[in-house]
Amino acid sequence: MVNGYFDILSVCIVLNPRTLIMKRILIIEDEDRVRKIYAQLLTDEGFEVIESADASEAYDVLNKGGIDMVLLDIKMPVVFGSILYEIMQSFHNKVKVIVASVYPLDEQKRIVKGAVDYHDKSHGTQLLLEKVRKALLEDS
């Protein structure tokens, strides 16, 4: 009886978009303007946002914990997003990753294998927002 009750409760939590509000998203993007756009987009939607301009800075943030999702650019100075993704697979494999790059989607899938979703940055912010929501709802 008790177990059943909690199951129904968790289903309710999953279906309610309000549960996304407290999710913490890390944006790893070296292009300042793109990063600011995504930060504003997600903050306006009620997400908690942390910004990183490069992979090593992002790695420190990840190590502190509490990150639910990462928006990951591929081409960045010094350490590529794809390399950071591989490191994350070993140490932070519970964090959901959406790859956001200007590479075509098939190319993104070839470079970073197994991310939750992929986004072509030139396809606009609305599509990205839908992908973020969908990915976060899937897990809980």
Partner 1 sequence: MRIFKLKIDFVYIAILSIFLFIYSCFIYALTSHNIAEAINDMVKGHILAKLFIPVLIAAALLYLVWKAIVRHIMKPVKKIAEIAEEITHEDLSARVDIKNPNKETKYLISAFNDMISRLESSFKYIVESNSYIAHELKTPIAIIRGEAEIALKKERDNEEYKKVISIALDESKKMLKTIEDLLLLTKMTYRPEFLNFENIDLNQFLNDIFEQSKILTAEKNISVDISVPEMSERVKADELSLRRLFFNIIDNAIKFTPQNGQIKIDVKYQKKKAIVSISDTGMGIADEDIPKLFDKFFRANKEKNRYASGSGLGLPITQSIAELHKAKIIVKSKLGKGSTFSVVLPILSH
Whichever of 34 and 61 has its CB closer to partner 1, that residue is 34
Binding residue count for partner 1, defined by CB under 8 A: 23
Neighbours of 94 (CB within 10 A): 9
The single residue among 15, 16, 44, 130 that binds partner 1, judged by CB under 8 A, is: 44
Whichever of 75 and 113 has its CB closer to partner 1, that residue is 75
Give, as ranges, the residues between 51 and 110 that touch partner 1 (CB under 8 A): 75-78, 80, 102-104
Return the structure tokens found at 35: 């990063």
Return the structure tokens found at 13: 């939590």
Return the structure tokens found at 2: 């008790």
Q: By CB under 8 A, tell whether 16 contacts partner 1.
A: no
How far CA 97 is from CA of 31, 71, 134, in Å, comes to 18, 6, 12
CA-to-CA distance for 82 and 113, rounded, in angstroms? 9
Enumerate binding residues for partner 1 (CB under 8 A): 30-31, 33-34, 37-38, 40-41, 44, 75-78, 80, 102-104, 120-122, 124-126
